């Protein structure tokens, strides 16, 4: 069996948390298959990610820092990584299901005439066969899937596997093949949000509001609770359709599917398409006046009461200990 | 500019999913099918672009007979004609992309649009794979798209902000919510769409390289703890989150 390759994301060489999770998942799978983990990072400062790649389980690390890959280009980055895969004959290629990972990996898998298993929750090895569990219908269904041949392409949902340090070190080398062509599509600018808010898809904690919030003017309590917890703000489709919140915050089948450690649903009744997007959260707190609201069926802790009483009280309690 | 819009028919998002007896797919009994919501944004954008600069919009879909009414609806939302690549094979995303690419290569298109993902299998990769097969510049999950001659700029949402892309026609772009508003066709548009040409071609998707072994409903949660004493319960709730669930540190 051949080695696993993890495509890392970093900021000037500093490894992203999601990539540490992907390395951890790769290391566990590799141990079951008796193979090793390789890792690759691209772009400015990529080489600096090598030490962390080793700590989180990689035995070999490749950096691609050519001037041509300074900015993200899905086609050119895919060409470079595909060259590495062909050279080293990797069996499984893993990335995190971030916006970049979900964009890049299918570009690579297409070069091997394969699709990518996106947003995977779990990778198991069953008598030498890799079984991939991923949600479909925004989580209404979990499917156990497999590739019929190598290489296999997987993006791992953020927060699905907690990162673990194994304390090793990786043999590091630069790689520069596959970059003969020019980028067809390239990022020319990254525009950072003024608000510096955490995105729902990568947050450990999400505080969400729904129709029960009554209007956008009532959102400051949601934002204050989220700030206290270091959480992201989420919203139901009803709140987004009403124009109360931006669609980037929408959680559900036509928004984002999330798996945070803690999901606090305020004034959300729990339409099936919303539940699909958040029911794989580790802990769910529901606050709703209606005791029959479907959200209580998935809640670990439910408070049947007016959110406008409960949320301010939660803020008060949390402030007490700060 | 001629635009191909690839769309997919999917179960409506309000569908309560039941798994069929073989455990490999969902039961279609009682399910109402709709145009994939993200594809509707692509249709609207195609209509907007050709409305401004001229050109035709061709709807292309891969699927069985039941897709037919939604082909008419898609044309009413913003098309001139349609191609139905008919098959009852399941295939995988790559094999579907391959038949779409063959059809697109045979036509005269400068732009291919579609939704960022189907809300059924959530594979979220048709644009990327199609772009690779065609060798065209690609942007997935675009919230903004502008075309000036051959020059294309597109914006996507990324964690903590936006990314601005530059590329040239021909291009493949997939739509995130926000690229355009879905159009609800008028009765007149629906009537006109009935007269638009639909070319039907039988296709085969071959043997998939990625397959489903088993579908399950997600693991059930045990019944949760319900509090009914209003604000008086909040200190206990916070205590549980800190000490039992251990999900908050403050």
Instruction: State the CATH number of the domain containing residue B111.
Output: 3.40.50.620
Q: Would strands A58-64 and A171-174 be described as parallel, antiparallel, or unpaired?
A: parallel
Q: Is there a contact between A272 and A298 (Cβ–Cβ < 8 Å)?
A: no
CA distance A296 to chain B (A): 8
Q: Helices B93-106 and B126-134, interaxial angle, to 10°?
A: 50
**Residue B41 belongs to a domain:** yes
Stretch(es) of chain A classified as CATH 3.40.50.620: 4-174
Residues of B in contact with A185 (CB under 8 A): 131, 137-139, 165-167, 171
Residues of A in contact with B178 (CB under 8 A): 247
Mean pLDDT of A35-63: 97
pLDDT at A280: 86
| Among the four given CATH numbers 3.30.460.80, 3.40.50.620, 3.30.70.20, 3.40.50.2030, the one describing domain A4-174 | 3.40.50.620
Mean pLDDT of A202-217: 95
Alpha-carbon span A125 to A39, nearest angstrom: 20
User: Around A292, how many Cα atoms within 13 Å sit in the side-chain half-sphere?
Assistant: 0
- Exposure of A173 by Cβ count < 10 A (0-12 exposed, 13-18 middle, 19+ buried)? exposed
**Residue B247 belongs to a domain:** no
pLDDT at A1: 65
Residues of B in contact with A198 (CB under 8 A): 160
Alpha-carbon span A263 to A286, nearest angstrom: 8
Number of A to B CB contacts under 8 A, please give it: 279
Beta-bridge mates of residue B193: none
**What average pLDDT does chain A have?**
94
Residues of A in contact with B240 (CB under 8 A): 301
Alpha-carbon span B140 to A99, nearest angstrom: 9
CA distance A255 to chain B (A): 8
**Residue B227 belongs to a domain:** no
pLDDT at A195: 65
Mutation choice for B interface testing from A73, A106, A197 by most B CBs within 10 A? A106
Q: pTM for the full model?
A: 0.91
| pLDDT block averages, 10 residues each, chain B of length 250 | 97 90 93 96 97 93 96 97 95 96 98 97 97 98 96 93 96 95 92 96 95 90 86 94 87
Superfamily of the domain at A205-321:
TPP-binding domain (3.40.50.1220)
**Residue B207 belongs to a domain:** no
pLDDT at A194: 65
Per-residue pLDDT band for A139 (boundaries 50, 70, 90) equals: confident
CA distance A99 to chain B (A): 6
CA distance B143 to chain A (A): 10
The CA distances from residue B84 to B40, B50, B64, in Å, are 17, 21, 9
Domain coverage including residue B93: 2-202
The total domain count for chain B is 1
Q: What sign does the CA torsion over B204, B209, B213, B216 have?
A: negative
* Residue of chain A minimizing CA distance to B169: A184
Could B16 and A272 be called an inter-chain contact, meaning their C-beta atoms sit closer than 8 Å? Answer: yes
Could B125 and A313 be called an inter-chain contact, meaning their C-beta atoms sit closer than 8 Å? Answer: no
Q: Is there a contact between B165 and A187 (Cβ–Cβ < 8 Å)?
A: yes
Alpha-carbon span B92 to A112, nearest angstrom: 14
Interface membership of A145 toward B (CB under 8 Å): yes
């Amino acid at each position: 069996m051949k080695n696993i390759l993890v495509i890392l994301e970093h900021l000037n060489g500093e490894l992203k948390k999601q990539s540490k999770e992907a390395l951890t998942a790769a290391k566990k799978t590799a141990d079951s298959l008796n193979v090793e983990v390789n890792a690759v990072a691209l772009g400015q400062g990529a080489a600096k990610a090598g030490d962390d790649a080793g700590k989180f389980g990689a035995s070999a690390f490749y950096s691609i820092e050519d001037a041509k890959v300074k900015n993200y280009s899905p086609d050119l980055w895919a060409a470079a990584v595909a060259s590495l895969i062909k050279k080293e004959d990797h069996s499984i290629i893993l990335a995190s299901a971030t916006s970049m990972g979900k964009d890049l990996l299918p570009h690579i898998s297409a070069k091997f005439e394969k699709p990518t298993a996106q947003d995977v929750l779990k990778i198991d090895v069953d008598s030498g066969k890799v079984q991939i569990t991923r949600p479909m219908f925004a989580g209404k269904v979990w499917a156990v899937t497999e590739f019929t041949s190598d290489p296999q392409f997987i993006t791992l949902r953020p927060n699905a596997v907690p990162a673990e340090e194994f304390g090793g070190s990786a043999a590091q080398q630069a790689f520069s093949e596959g970059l003969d062509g020019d980028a067809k599509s390239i990022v020319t600018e990254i525009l950072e949000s003024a608000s510096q808010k955490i995105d729902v898809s990568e947050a450990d904690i999400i505080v969400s509001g729904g129709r029960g919030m009554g209007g956008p003017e009532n959102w400051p309590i949601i934002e204050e609770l989220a700030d206290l917890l270091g959480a992201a703000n989420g919203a139901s489709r009803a709140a987004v359709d009403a124009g109360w919140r931006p669609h980037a915050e929408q959680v559900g089948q036509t928004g984002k599917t999330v798996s945070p450690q803690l999901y606090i649903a305020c004034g959300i009744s729990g339409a099936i398409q919303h539940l699909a997007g958040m029911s794989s959260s580790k802990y769910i707190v529901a606050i709703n006046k209606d005791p029959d609201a479907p959200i209580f069926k998935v809640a670990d802790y439910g408070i049947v009461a007016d959110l406008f009483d409960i949320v301010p009280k939660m803020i008060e309690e949390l402030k007490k200990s700060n | 500019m001629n635009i191909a819009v690839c769309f997919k028919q999917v179960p409506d998002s309000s569908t309560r999913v039941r798994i069929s007896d073989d455990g490999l797919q969902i039961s279609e009994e009682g399910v109402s099918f709709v145009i994939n919501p993200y594809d509707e944004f692509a249709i609207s954008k195609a209509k907007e672009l050709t409305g401004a600069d001229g050109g035709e919009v061709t709807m292309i879909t891969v699927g069985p007979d039941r897709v037919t009414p939604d082909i008419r609806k898609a044309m009413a939302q913003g098309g001139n004609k349609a191609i139905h690549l008919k098959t009852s094979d399941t295939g995988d995303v790559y094999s579907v992309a391959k038949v779409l690419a063959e059809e697109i290569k045979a036509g005269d298109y400068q732009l291919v649009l579609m939704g960022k993902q189907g809300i059924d299998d959530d594979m979220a990769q048709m644009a990327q794979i199609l772009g690779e097969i065609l060798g065209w510049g690609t942007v997935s999950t675009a919230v903004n798209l502008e075309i000036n001659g051959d020059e294309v700029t597109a914006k996507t949402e990324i964690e903590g902000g936006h990314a601005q892309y530059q590329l040239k026609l021909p291009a493949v772009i997939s739509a995130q919510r926000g690229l355009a508003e879905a159009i609800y066709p008028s009765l007149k548009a629906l009537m006109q769409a009935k007269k638009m040409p639909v070319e039907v071609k039988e296709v085969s998707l071959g043997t998939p390289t990625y397959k489903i072994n088993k579908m399950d409903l997600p693991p059930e949660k045990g019944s949760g703890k319900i509090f009914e004493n209003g604000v008086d319960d909040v200190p206990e709730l916070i205590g549980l989150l800190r000490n039992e669930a251990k999900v908050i540190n403050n």
